[in-house]
């Protein structure tokens, strides 16, 4: 009896996946739970474990892309290789599902995948699958890399640093002067976007083109919030990191979403889908991309718990170890550019959500209070809304509750 292994859905937004590396060979005996194949999605790469036992026949070689649900391998439960005996995998003759330059597609179909590390080597070196693949592709010996991940595990960022350290210095050259007949812009260098960047570009364009955005702005007096954060610093006996001001924004928005369920919903096919859980996505910049891990059930977490989860997820994004489940299920998103000195900005709504909150810097500015000009720590917020879901008054009340929660941080307990 032969069963199929299909391209799995590894995230709620996944449409197709790339076979990065088979961790088993054609004709191998596999058991339930064995690490089978490394797959790259639109958000991250992860190792897929087999849910079948038997003899493996690989149908799709490394480097090719397949949509969700399409067979990528079979497993024969009678102990015999489905094709009679183990044979090398030949690339498919049809064109791969992804688009791209013809030359790149030809390379993807003909280049053999790099050999996977042995189990003994993986145990000895302790390296993530993504970092191991990058090291093999770049010819870097992971034995000479110091890992910064949990328990000294080597992650992608460690391999990137090793490559940067080994790269020769770029010589300084004079600025070229355009010669007669050259384009006014000079030489043009084409930089291909990776899969994540392409997906972000496509989805941002789709969001702006299909979602009717409107924006509301508000200025928040964060003076009390700053004082509360200082009080957290003076309580070393408590467990967990000191909450940041952004952690307070996450909690303030999560509590406000309880009372404004339309802001925690999505427009789909002429109806609203209201979500019972409040899962806050936090935008994290990493490797020329914007990744949004999700803090689940943020309205039920204390501030220190939000701080702990936020730091854990951000670190996993930066080291390349974040997994699709950690990027899935978001119902509302917060993006913060305050650390870059940005006072205010407007954001693009994340697909499948009703709104996104853009957070600016907290700065010492003048504020008129009770007829007097006084110094205050002020922060600007911009709420982008889907006009099919939220109307002006609804959105204004939601934003006002976020501001009230932040101006009296005792409400965030």
3-class DSSP state for residue 9? coil
Q: Cβ distance 286 to 314 under 8 Å?
A: no
Check 81, 259, 260, 387 and give the catalytic one: 387
Strands (E) in 292-354, as ranges, are 294-295, 332-336
What is the rounded distance in angstroms from the CA atom of residue 41 to the CA atom of residue 16? 7
Q: How many CB atoms lie within 10 A of CB 289?
A: 16
Of the candidates 134, 95, 90, the one whose C-alpha atom is nearest the C-alpha of residue 114 is 134
Tokens in use for 88? 């090398």
Q: Which helix (H) or strand (E) holds 359?
A: strand 355-369
- Describe the crossing of helices 245-259 and 303-318 by its angle, rounded to 10 degrees: 110
Of the candidates 282, 293, 394, the one whose C-alpha atom is nearest the C-alpha of residue 43 is 293
Q: Which residues of 256-272 are buried (b: 16+ CB within 10 A; e: fewer)?
A: bbeebebbbbbbeeeee
**Burial category of 355 from C-beta neighbours within 10 Å (exposed 0-12, middle 13-18, buried 19 and up):** buried
Residue 350 a catalytic site member: no
φ and ψ at 44, to 5 degrees? -165, 175
Please give the full DSSP string across 123-161, using - where no structure is assigned. HHH-B-HHHHHHHHHHT--GGG----SGGG-B-HHHHHH
- Beta strands across the sheet bearing 65-67: 45-49, 35-40, 16-22, 65-67
Strands (E) in 23-116, as ranges, are 29-30, 35-40, 45-49, 54-58, 65-67, 71-76
Active site residues: 387
């Amino acid at each position: 009896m032969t069963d199929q292994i299909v391209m799995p859905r590894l995230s709620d937004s996944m449409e197709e996946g790339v076979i990065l590396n088979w961790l088993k060979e054609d004709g191998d005996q596999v058991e339930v739970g064995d690490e089978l194949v490394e797959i790259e999605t639109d958000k991250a790469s992860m190792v897929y474990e087999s849910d079948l036992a038997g003899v493996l026949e690989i149908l799709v070689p490394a480097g090719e892309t397949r949509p969700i649900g399409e067979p990528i391998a079979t497993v024969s439960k009678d102990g015999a290789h489905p094709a009679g005996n183990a044979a090398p995998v030949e690339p498919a003759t049809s064109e791969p599902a992804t688009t791209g330059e013809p030359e790149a597609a030809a390379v993807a179909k003909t280049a053999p995948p790099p050999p996977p590390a042995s189990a003994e080597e993986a145990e000895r070196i302790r390296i993530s699958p993504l970092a191991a693949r990058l090291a093999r592709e770049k010819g870097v010996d992971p034995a000479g890399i110091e890992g910064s991940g949990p328990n000294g595990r080597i992650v992608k960022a460690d391999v990137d640093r090793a490559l940067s350290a080994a790269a020769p210095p770029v010589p300084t050259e004079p600025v070229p002067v355009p010669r007669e007949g050259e384009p006014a812009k000079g030489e043009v260098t084409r930089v291909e976007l990776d899969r994540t960047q392409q997906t972000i570009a496509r989805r941002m364009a789709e969001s702006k083109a299909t979602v009717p955005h409107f924006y509301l702005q508000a200025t928040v007096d964060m003076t009390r919030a700053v004082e509360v954060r200082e009080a957290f610093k003076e309580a070393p006996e408590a467990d967990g990191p000191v909450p940041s001001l952004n952690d307070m924004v996450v909690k303030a928005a999560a509590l406000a979403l309880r009372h404004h369920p339309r802001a925690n919903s999505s427009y789909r096919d002429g109806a609203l889908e209201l979500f019972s859980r409040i899962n806050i996505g936090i935008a994290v910049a990493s490797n020329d991309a914007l990744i949004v891990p999700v803090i689940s059930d943020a309205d039920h977490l204390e501030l220190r718990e939000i701080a702990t989860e936020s730091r854990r997820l951000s670190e996993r994004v930066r080291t390349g170890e974040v997994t699709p489940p950690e990027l899935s299920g978001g119902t509302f998103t917060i993006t913060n550019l305050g650390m870059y000195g940005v006072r205010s900005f407007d954001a693009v709504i994340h697909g499948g959500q009703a709104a996104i909150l853009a957070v600016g810097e907290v700065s010492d500015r003048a504020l008129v209070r009770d007829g007097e000009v006084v110094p205050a720590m002020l922060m600007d917020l911009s709420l982008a809304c889907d006009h099919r879901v939220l109307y002006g008054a609804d959105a204004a009340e939601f934003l006002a509750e976020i501001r009230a929660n932040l101006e009296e941080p005792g409400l965030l307990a």
